[in-house]
Amino acid sequence: MENNKKTSLSELMETSMGKVREMVDSNTIIGQPITTPDGVTLIPVSRMSFGFGCGGGDYGKTAPKFGGASTAGVRVEPVAFLVVRDGVTRVLPVAAPAITTVDRAIEMVPQVLDRVENFIERQKAEKKEKETF
């Protein structure tokens, strides 16, 4: 790059990276919340990967000419939804349902914990009621 002039390759790279920046946004990973009429909030969660490549060079002896190319790819894959209802947040996976018993057990852990927590809270509330009488 003589005299601080941009070469065709650097212009090509800057243009390509600018387009990738437009596509890559934090809102692509954790989407904007969607509120349903019954008060449930859904927040989409995605997995994203991207790649970029660029190359080029000058050729010709008398009048150098530039030859180059760039490419970029972005893959956005929905993973799950965060479901917020009455102050309780749950993860609703988009993937295929669990096949093995271990997979099913792991998926059930949040539900079991919620039920145990609700049971303990009910027991405490009942105990307080008995103590006040």
Distance CA 24, CA 46 (A): 12
3-state secondary structure 60-110: CCCCCEEEEEEEEEEEEEEEEEEEEECCEEEEEECCCCCCCHHHHHHHHHH
pLDDT tens-digit profile of 88-128? 888 888 876 656 677 777 777 788 888 888 888 888 888 88
Instruction: Report the C-alpha gap between 39 and 104 in whole angstroms.
Output: 28
83, β-bridge pairs: 42, 90
pLDDT at 30: 84
| Averaged pLDDT score across all residues of the chain | 78
| pLDDT tens-digit map of 8-35 | 777 777 887 787 777 776 667 888 898 9
54 closest CA partner among 13, 18, 10, 11? 13
**pLDDT tens, 29-65?**
888 898 989 889 999 988 888 787 877 777 777 777 7
AA letter at 109: V
In percent, the amount of the chain with pLDDT more than 90 equals: 2
Q: Please report, for the chain, the start and end positions of each structural domain, with discontinuous segments joined by +.
A: 2-95, 96-133
Q: What are phi and psi of 63, to 5 degrees?
A: -120, 95
Q: Are 68 and 55 in contact (CB under 8 A)?
A: yes
Tokens of 36: 């349903």
User: What is the distance between the alpha carbons of residues 95 and 106, in angstroms, rounded to a whole number?
Assistant: 14
